[in-house]
Amino acid sequence: MTTSHLTMEQLLAVRDGDRSEPAYADAHQHVAECGACRVELDRLHQRTARLRALPRMTPARNQFPAVRTRFATERRQRRLRAAGIGGLAIAASLAMVMIGRDVLRPNRLDAEQQIATAKSESQQLELQLHAWNPQSRVLNSRAAAMVMELEDRIADLDVRLAQTPESERQLALWQQRVGLMNTLVEVHVTRASNVGF
């Protein structure tokens, strides 16, 4: 008979009723006499009963074919979408090649007409400015500084216009000149009306 408590292997042999070895036969007798080992054997029975009471886990039906079908469908949709976007990009490229040149670069005639219009507007603004006779009017120091800056910028533009041969670049410069002339006229008219002339 054993004087120490039973090992887990011996408790399992007692639980299963195994008496094949002399140590297991002694273990049966030890459980009958030892309260601690009897309590441990009862816990082992309870665990076994709880494990047997758990619901059976049955594998779910095979989902792989459905997943494979869905994956193939999504891949086909992505490819169709990419092909559609690629087709649209090609169509847009062809449209830009066919008509984009005219849109991106105006005809020389149109640019020349726009330059002529800008020159005409610039001359009209200069005439309007001379009609106001700005030299005879009094301006405060802030307005005078603005007028000097605008006149300097107009002079710089005139130099650049004389040096720029391309009509498209000249168009942008003439449009800037018209804007500056318009601002210069407004400064003179606004300041003169504020002073009371």
CA distance 89 to 80: 14
Structure tokens at 24: 């297991």
Longest dimension (CA), the chain: 133
The answer to whether 147 and 139 have CB atoms below 8 angstroms apart is yes
Please say if the pLDDT value at position 71 is more than 80.
Answer: yes
Structure tokens at 18: 């195994």
Angle, helix 108-132 to helix 167-195, in steps of 10 degrees: 20
- CA proximity to 130, closest of 177, 175, 193, 184: 184
The answer to whether 106 and 168 have CB atoms below 8 angstroms apart is yes
Q: Residue ranges per domain, the chain?
A: 8-53, 65-104, 108-195
**Banded pLDDT at 3 (limits 50, 70, 90):** low
Model pLDDT for residues 109-125, shown as the tens digit of each residue? 577 788 888 888 888 87
Tell me what pLDDT residue 75 has.
Answer: 92
What sign for the dihedral angle of Cα 129, 131, 134, 139?
negative
pTM over 0.85: no
The answer to whether 139 and 191 have CB atoms below 8 angstroms apart is yes
Model pLDDT for residues 130-151, shown as the tens digit of each residue? 776 666 666 677 777 887 888 8
**Banded pLDDT at 166 (limits 50, 70, 90):** low
Q: How far is CA 10 from the centre of its chain?
A: 67
Please give the average per-residue pLDDT across 39-68, as a whole number: 84
Residue partners of 157: CB distance under 8 A and separation at least 6: 173, 176, 177, 180
